[in-house]
Chains A and B, each alone.
Chain A
Amino acid sequence: MKDWLDLNRREFLVALGAAYGAAATGLAAPRSRFLEYAGDDEAPRERFINAMCPMCPGGCGLKVRVVHGCAVGLRGNEDHPINRGGLCSRASAVLQDVYNPDRLTKPLKCVGGRGSGKWEEIDWDTALGVITDKLSTLREQGKPHAACAVMGRDRGLTRAAWQRFMRAYGSPNMVDLHPEDNMGVLPAVLATHGARQRLGYDLAETSYVLSFSSGWLDEHWSMEQAARGFAEFRRGRPGFRPKWIHVEPRHSLTATKADEWIPIRPGTEGTLALGIAHVMIREGLYDRRFVAEHGSGFDDWTDRDGVSRTGFKRMVLQDFAPAKVQTVTGVPEGAVFRLAREFSTNRPALALGSDGGGCGAAATYDRMAIHCLNALVGSIDVPGGVTLFRDLSVLQADFDVDDVASRGLLSPPLDGPAQKRRLSDNAADLLIDSLASSKPYPTEALFLVDADPVFSLAEGPRFGAAMAAVPLVVSMSAYHNDTNRHADLILPQLHALNRWDFNTGHTLKGHPVVTVSNPVMKAPPDLLSPYDTIRRIAAGLGDPVASALPWEDGQQAVDAVCRELFAGGKGAAFGPANEESWAQLLESRGWRAPFSENFDDFKRDVLAGGGWTDPIYFHREWDRVFRSPSGKFAFSSAYLAKSFEAIPEATESAVLARRCLPICRTDQRRHDQAYPLELYVYSLPNLASVASPNLPWLNDIAGAYVFEKWRTWVEIHPETAEHLGITKHDQAEVRTARGRLVLPVKIFAGVMPEVIAIPFGLGRKEGGRWCKGIGENPAVLVDAQADPLTGTALWTQTRASVRRV
């Protein structure tokens, strides 16, 4: 077979089109228009160019093989500290995304009325003119806060540019659609540490892991890194086998790799954690020194009025005895004792809650309860324990705003009042009410930046309906999606491989990482990068908004990032593992021997290596790790206490004091005649959280481990199925108080009896040929409840019934 290099350009383009269209699907696919532009470059015949994987927030490094100016292959960047040369299955689909024939190529204007699906191509000047006219008018009217941006999964330059733009323009309404992606456990950390930072998990050094529906190998925010971390956990210490216990209602991919799977009723993970804490405290198995020196709210305490308040210890001992926990969670009492003893005696031990990814969120109180286990075994900020990521921000330098913006920024946010989201800056679910009711004020311009809330949110259809009240809706999206149907304008997006970009992140050990990405191919002429788009809008508004984005293009912005990193004087460009080890060896002892003597060398190395990292973490910096008022780990959240004080609720202070503790379910779910089963919606690996699901490769493998693909199914335990008279080839109607779906049945012993499981990730009404109309979206069934501390919809409380049809 001929290599790419043996083909002439014409043969090459034909072959490439065939390879990425037909080969992946077995279907005849048209040649991608994107190939024609990319293939213009005749200069060097073969190159390997550093790039960044755009498929998830992890920011893995790629080395793209470019032939005749076209990307023809991918491998991981061996020097990248997050993926170390590895690629996850999602990254393997990047080229299908680049050359996807369904990517939008021109700005589109809705011509048949919203929802009609009729679009007309327009030029960029016209499209951006409509936007700047509207935004100019709003600022002239003193209403910049009436603009709202809903952000999708982009974490790099696009996000930084929008943050600066919204601040300069004067709107506080920049809402994350997927706060889970990057900060799933953040509200719990804020409650217990008083810090807005994510947690790292030092799996390579830990001895025992208790994983509570963590989705570690299913839907982690950084899949490749999670897989690498798991491999280090398993194989990093010859002769020693650490233990991984996975607790989840369903036998997920993570459960298959665990030493033991413990089924649990949906939404009761926090209750089990407190049951384990009960045994640890009662049997004196917890780390007394850590709790005494670095814990607060563990014992009963007295408030400023001299009233005694319940501490964590008393609550746990009173309410979470293993026998009671069994009735709530379905986990046998004996297992609770065993887990507590194993967890306490195999240190360092880690308790993992859901850390992002997936559909819906775990309740914040549950996450607090799980994290308290880490404190009880003293696994906070020690090797083999959890680490608190060090601050890392670039292009965030503060700048002055004008009076219009200042006033706008002080307006109440649209995504819900603070009472409903005390621990979260974002609550996209709460935005729906504001859009629909025009309260606290009407939304005049809504921007959806690579975001599809109509599909993603539990109440997506309601979000779509609420958008009708917004005069201007602009979606910035590479493909058609369910939300675009409700938009006035669609602005296509230049693919990540065609543009300059960066991403900030951390390794599991807590080392900060900045990935930089070069354009690997020539960009199609009619597309703008997300940065160019927002910069042209800002320029249309003139100063002072325009000056908030001073970099002429993405390249200049990346240059500015490099300057900030160089000025920081720490870390080094990615290099071979030996160089990273060298930096670690020196920095851990207070020495530094920087590889780059000046900025030009530094920038050259950063671009050549694919990014920058500072491979050192200093443990036990308690003033950084605990920023709560007590400077300690808060078993009873002082941060929440302050919040209740500042934003009072009409509740007795004793009740509020108790609400600072991790309150988890203590009641057994009542039998419901109409809906006797519990619904567990889980994320379909690879499909649930990709920016675009229009990728045949991912559809092909999404359900591979249960031998399913290209459809949505319902999983039923054999006992439950027998009781319901359902067999494996049946179709079943799943009904909840919210809606109904008819789905093919999968008899699966990997789901708990009396619980049914449905994957989330398919069922899009709009999109490309490989996702539109394929499967069903279980969100229509979900009876979502708002998390009392973040406002985020919880998907785990839904009752359901099933019958054969």
Chain B
Amino acid sequence: MRKSRIAPTRMAATARSLIALVVGMTVGVSAARGQTSQTTLPATGDVMRGWRVFFEKKCVDCHAVWDHGGRVGPDLGRLRTGRLSGGQLAGVMWNHIPKMLGQMQHTGRLPTTLSQQDMADLFALIFFVRQLDEPGDPVRGEQILIRKGCGECHSTDSSEGSIGPDLAQWGKYANPVVWAQLMWEHAPMMEEAMRRSGMTWPKLEGTDLVHIVAYVRSAGISGEKTYLRPGSVGQGLSLFHEKKCDTCHPGSGPDLAASADLPTSMSALASRMWNHSPEMTRVMREQAVERQPISAQELADILAYVLLLGNLDRGGDATRGERVFAQKGCVQCHNHEEMAEGGPTVQRLGQDAAPVDMAAAMWNHGKTMLEQMTEAGISWPVFNEHEMVDLLAYLKTAESEAGGTTGD
């Protein structure tokens, strides 16, 4: 297999500039009622390495990432809408193991072994690509602009006379975050102009913004594009405080980390900022919080940090996990004692009770497990959204109650 030409030092540099899911990185986030807790970020992977693993381990043969790759399995960029934590991702993988193995057998592919680091890198990749958006559809973008009444103030054909800036000039901004930053910068003026004109603040939904960007890019001036570096979580965390975002979040606003409907993509989050802009302006005015200037790159960092919070597992319930363990029949193969024909003990499983480690173990042993379960007439259990998280909590508890280490 050919090696990537990226030298380790460059990999490290690139990783820093990407979504640095750093080992053991701990950040302070505030709980819903102003209490402070320590939350450990869930993954220890590197996005660029994840991309390489994705190719080198042949995941790309079956899966695509935003259309780059095979079409047998789901596109990892479009894996699932809504929030997806590490534990949930491990659950999704577990549920699909029989299907994946069946497909691989059908197409003559052999499962490749993934180390824990490989799996961590793949997790990091999946979390990152979910933040990206569809490239956008110019036709839909045009319809959205018309529907939202943006044309009342903005032109898109370099014509003069519009109230707001001609959006054609923004054709060079291919990144929706740049748009969000420009809108953030101009929001007070826009609010005032719209108030005077008696217009209501248009709300952007879902992927509206990427389609608008695609339309303006196609209708506007080509020129050289303005690109951003993928946001840095570490920088984002610093900026979150530096730019006084934490004055309102979670000071008097919703707790970002706990917000169940936190958007999963950059543009959706940017749209959320836009939609709440008048309210944000009002609250900031009331609390005498000055609107901080934010560059596009700074905003990308902040959004990367906020989006990462959406990947956090919200503490599973060990009691519920124990019930899941029993109900799903796990106990038939895994017990507190070594079983002659069974799998590892509960305590042993507890050592791998982090989502990434559990996913790696499941992947590497999935074929054997499936064969043994089929032979024993046991059906493959399916976990719902929270069950895997609870199960992991139970296994972790069982492992710690047993004294931390067991087995070999």
Contact = CB atoms under 8 A, between A and B. Distances in A.
Interface in A606-637: 608-609, 618-624
A705 interface: no
A724 interface: no
Contacts of A592: 227-229
A585 B177 contact: no
A484 B221 CA distance: 50
Interface string A509-546: 00000000000000000000000000000000000000
B17 A575 contact: no
Interface string B201-233: 000000000000100011111101111111000
Contacts of B135: 588-589
B49 to A, nearest CB: 11
- Which of A584, A601, A618 has the most C-beta atoms of chain B within 10 angstroms of its own C-beta? A618
B10 A575 contact: no
A586 B178 contact: no
B52 interface: yes
Contacts of A621: 171, 217-218, 222
Contacts of B173: 590
A581 interface: yes
Given A582-B51, A618-B174, A590 B17 contact: no
Nearest to B47: A593
B301 to A, nearest CB: 13
A609 B13 CA distance: 20
Contact of B2 (A576, A588, A591, A605): A576
B227 to A, nearest CB: 4
A595 B60 CA distance: 21
A587 B174 CA distance: 8
Nearest to B214: A620
Nearest to B226: A590
B5 A591 contact: no
Interface string A564-585: 0000001001011111011011
A596 interface: yes
A619 B218 contact: yes
Contact of B65 (A579, A585, A588, A595): A585
Given A589-B132, A618-B217, A576 B4 contact: yes
A310 B228 CA distance: 49
A244 B284 CA distance: 63
Interface in B230-276: 230
A620 B176 CA distance: 18
B14 A595 contact: yes
A597 B10 contact: yes
Size bracket, chain A contacts: 35 or more
A78 interface: yes
A589 B229 contact: no
Size bracket, chain B contacts: 35 or more
Interface string B339-359: 000000000000000000000
A606 to B, nearest CB: 11
Contacts of B52: 578
A593 B229 contact: yes
Nearest to B69: A581
Interface in B1-42: 2, 4-6, 10, 13-14, 17-18
Contacts of B226: 590
A608 B17 contact: no
A586 B17 CA distance: 13
Contacts of B177: 590
Interface string A56-93: 00000000000000000000001100000000000000
Contact of B51 (A573, A578, A590, A601): A578
Contacts of A596: 10
A588 B214 CA distance: 10
Contacts of B217: 618, 620-621
Interface string B314-340: 000000000000000000000000000
Contacts of B229: 591-593
A479 to B, nearest CB: 38
A405 B168 CA distance: 42
A563 to B, nearest CB: 18
B133 interface: yes
Contacts of B383: none
B54 interface: yes
B138 A620 contact: yes
B68 interface: yes
A549 B297 CA distance: 40
Contacts of A585: 65-66, 68, 129, 132
Nearest to B5: A575
Contacts of B213: 590
A585 B66 CA distance: 7
A79 B229 CA distance: 24
A380 to B, nearest CB: 12
Contacts of A608: 5
Given A590-B225, A620-B138, A579 B175 contact: no
- Which of A78, A79, A589, A595 has the most C-beta atoms of chain B within 10 angstroms of its own C-beta? A589
Contacts of B68: 581, 584-585
B4 to A, nearest CB: 6
- Which of B5, B52, B174 has the most C-beta atoms of chain A within 10 angstroms of its own C-beta? B5
B222 A591 contact: no
B225 A579 contact: no
Contacts of A570: 224
A590 B174 contact: yes
A589 B5 contact: no
A609 B55 contact: no
Nearest to B6: A595
Interface in B164-186: 171, 173-178
A579 B10 CA distance: 13
A703 to B, nearest CB: 38
A153 B219 CA distance: 38
Nearest to A590: B175
Nearest to A618: B217
Interface in B42-57: 48, 51-52, 54-56
Contact of A590 (B5, B18, B178, B222): B178
A590 B228 contact: yes
A578 B55 contact: yes
B230 A591 contact: yes
A621 to B, nearest CB: 4
Contacts of B175: 589-591
A578 B2 CA distance: 11
Given A618-B222, A621-B218, A593 B5 contact: no
A259 to B, nearest CB: 25
Given A622-B219, A623-B221, A605 B5 contact: yes
B218 A575 contact: no
A562 to B, nearest CB: 16
Given A590-B173, A590-B174, A590-B176, A576 B55 contact: yes
A576 B228 contact: no
Interface in B353-377: none
B280 to A, nearest CB: 24
A595 B219 CA distance: 31
A597 B13 CA distance: 8
Nearest to A587: B227
Contacts of A579: 4-6
A581 B76 CA distance: 14
A540 to B, nearest CB: 40
Contacts of B4: 575-576, 578-579
B218 A578 contact: no
25 contacts: A576-B55, A578-B52, A578-B54, A578-B60, A584-B68, A585-B129, A585-B132, A586-B230, A587-B225, A590-B173, A590-B225, A590-B228, A591-B230, A592-B227, A593-B14, A593-B230, A595-B6, A618-B217, A620-B217, A620-B218, A621-B217, A621-B218, A621-B222, A623-B220, A623-B221
Closest 3 CB pairs of A and B: A590-B175, A620-B218, A590-B174
Given A589-B133, A590-B178, A593-B18, 10 more contacts: A576-B4, A578-B52, A587-B227, A590-B225, A591-B230, A595-B10, A595-B14, A597-B10, A608-B5, A623-B220
